[in-house]
């Protein structure tokens, strides 16, 4: 089954916890702190695999988790780092944050990689907190928490030539005539329910990839018919073969309608090079109207080719003309990339205080919540270190100004603390 959109849940690995430990050995009365560091959590990475052409390997709401880092050991032994999780996707996959709709990456080249979630760093063991004034540090760090995101994957097929037109214009028949593809062909609307790909040979050294895009109708850019789901695939094609049905009452109106839908969906689509071909000229009814149809297209300054996909009349000439146009068109890599958008990052020490009840408060902020998760609350030294951090970034002073009192509960993330002066 062809699947070109899916939402998944991903997370990196948590960092391993650092250890609080003191060296114990016969005849070594003061071995000192030797708690090891935790290992780094695995990253979550997307990589382009050129042999894939659909997102069917993914299930809706599927969850992917990189490996957590291992905890540190005694004798300064560091924990093993978690393995990275590499998720393979087909070329042309765009990755969005499902909650904000922000584009995180556009993967088009074989082997291209994108790190979406970085693994948490390992917590430090108590060996790092020893000093001349504190030779027996009773503190260590837990591993840094993992990063988690909900993603939307969207596939836009990468093809050299895209076949567009109204339903039953003969696109699937033309694809079958030019390539070894075997799309479903029948005389009813929307026979093609998903894009089909085929490879056509120009000569012994040159091949091109064609994509048969499901038929577009009026209102496709707003979601009517099947167009909204598949218009995105035309964005990757470099040259369009616009097929017009010879039996249509007004072929010029059909041609204009499709171009309007392309422009409404994405203004850049209307600028793509097009080869316009009138299909079904092997039929007597079409032959009778051919001169009039050509005259109307010429009036609109549109160069019109005439073919019969079923009888394979002029199909080879159409392919060669499209290949010549393709040679003049820059590849995706040659097009100047858009200027990057730089967004100022929020202050990591920024926090917010909110009163949740008569004697209850909540402190929210990325830095302080992360520090709370990395704190060994059962170790007095770790607790004192966390209190100093609260003083340093101004949480203590802000709580006092807000009106916190002795005995009030202060929640930070999933932890609840009792306020004491």
Taking residues 141-166, report their average pLDDT. 87
Q: Report whether pLDDT(91) > 70.
A: yes
Q: Report whether pLDDT(81) > 50.
A: yes
Distance CA(339)–CA(345), nearest Å, equals 18
pTM of the model: 0.68
* Percent of all residues in the chain with a pLDDT value above 70, rounded to a whole number: 86
Q: Where in the chain is the domain with CATH 3.30.300.350?
A: 352-418
Name the residue with higher pLDDT: 60 or 44. 44
Name the residue with higher pLDDT: 36 or 51. 36
Token code pair at residue 388: 């100093």
CATH assignment of 161-328? 3.40.50.300
* 165 close to 244: Cβ distance less than 8 angstroms: yes
Distances (CA, A) of 24 to 34, 190, 289, 382: 10, 77, 99, 22
The strands making up 352-357's β-sheet, listed across from edge to edge, are 352-357, 360-364, 409-412, 415-418
pLDDT tens, residue by residue, 339-397: 444 455 556 678 899 998 888 999 998 888 989 998 988 888 888 888 888 888 898 99
Residues 6+ apart with CB under 8 A from 186: none
pLDDT tens, residue by residue, 233-281: 777 788 999 999 999 889 998 888 888 878 887 788 888 899 999 999 9
Q: Where in the chain is the domain with CATH 2.70.210.12?
A: 1-155
pLDDT grade for 183, boundaries at 50, 70 and 90: very low
* 386 close to 392: Cβ distance less than 8 angstroms: no
Q: Where in the chain is the domain with CATH 3.40.50.300?
A: 161-328
Superfamily (CATH) of domain 1-155: GTP1/OBG domain (2.70.210.12)
Q: What is the CA radius of gyration of the chain?
A: 31
CATH assignment of 352-418? 3.30.300.350
- According to the model, what pLDDT value does residue 347 have? 65
Q: Report whether pLDDT(135) > 90.
A: no
7-23 burial code (b ≥16 CB/10 A, e <16): ebebbbbbbbbbbbbbe
Note the maximum CA span of the chain. Answer: 109
Q: Report whether pLDDT(221) > 50.
A: no
- According to the model, what pLDDT value does residue 343 have? 52
Q: Report whether pLDDT(145) > 90.
A: yes
Q: Residue 186: how many CA atoms within 13 Å on its side-chain side?
A: 7
- According to the model, what pLDDT value does residue 142 have? 92
Q: Report whether pLDDT(189) > 50.
A: no
For 171, phi and psi rounded to 5 degrees?
Answer: -65, -45
What residue has token string 């958008």?
Answer: 341
pLDDT grade for 84, boundaries at 50, 70 and 90: very high
Q: Report whether pLDDT(197) > 80.
A: no
Token code pair at residue 43: 């990253």
């Amino acid at each position: 089954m062809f699947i070109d959109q899916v939402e998944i849940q991903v997370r990196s690995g948590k960092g391993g916890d650092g250890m609080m430990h003191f060296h114990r050995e016969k005849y070594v009365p003061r071995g000192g702190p030797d708690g090891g560091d935790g290992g780094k959590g695995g990253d979550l990475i997307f990589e382009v695999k050129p042999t894939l052409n659909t997102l069917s390997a993914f299930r809706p709401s599927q969850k992917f988790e990189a490996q957590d880092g291992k905890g540190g050991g005694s004798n300064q032994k560091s924990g093993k780092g978690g393995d990275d999780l590499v998720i393979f996707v087909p070329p042309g996959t765009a990755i969005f944050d499902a909650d904000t709709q922000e584009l995180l990456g556009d993967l088009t080249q074989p082997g291209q990689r994108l790190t979406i979630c970085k693994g948490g760093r390992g917590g430090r063991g108590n060996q790092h907190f020893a000093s001349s004034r504190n030779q027996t540090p009773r503190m260590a760090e837990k591993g840094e928490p993992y990063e988690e995101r909900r993603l939307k994957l969207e596939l836009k097929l990468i093809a050299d030539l895209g076949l567009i037109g109204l339903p039953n214009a003969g696109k699937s028949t033309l694809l079958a005539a030019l390539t070894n593809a075997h799309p479903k062909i029948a005389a009813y609307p929307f026979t093609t329910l998903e894009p089909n790909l085929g490879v056509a040979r120009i000569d012994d050294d040159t091949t091109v990839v064609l994509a048969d895009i499901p038929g577009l109708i009026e209102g496709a850019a707003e979601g009517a018919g099947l167009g909204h789901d598949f218009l995105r695939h035309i964005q990757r094609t470099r040259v369009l073969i616009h097929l017009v049905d010879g039996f249509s009452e007004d072929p010029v109106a059909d041609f204009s309608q499709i171009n309007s839908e392309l422009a409404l969906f994405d203004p850049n689509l209307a600028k793509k090079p097009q080869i316009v071909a009138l299909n079904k000229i092997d039929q007597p009814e079409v032959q009778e109207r051919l001169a009039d149809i050509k005259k109307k297209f010429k009036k609109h300054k549109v160069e019109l080719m005439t073919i019969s996909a079923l009888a394979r009349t002029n199909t080879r000439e159409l392919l060669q003309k499209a290949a010549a146009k393709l040679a003049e068109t820059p590849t995706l890599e040659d097009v100047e990339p858009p200027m990057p958008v730089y967004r100022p990052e929020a202050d990591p020490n920024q926090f917010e205080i909110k009163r949740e009840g008569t004697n209850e408060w909540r402190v929210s902020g990325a830095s302080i919540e992360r520090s709370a998760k990395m704190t060994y609350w059962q170790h007095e030294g770790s607790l004192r270190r966390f209190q100093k951090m609260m003083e340093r970034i101004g949480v203590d002073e802000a709580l006092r100004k807000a009106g916190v009192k002795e005995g009030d509960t202060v929640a930070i993330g999933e932890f609840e603390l009792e306020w004491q002066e």
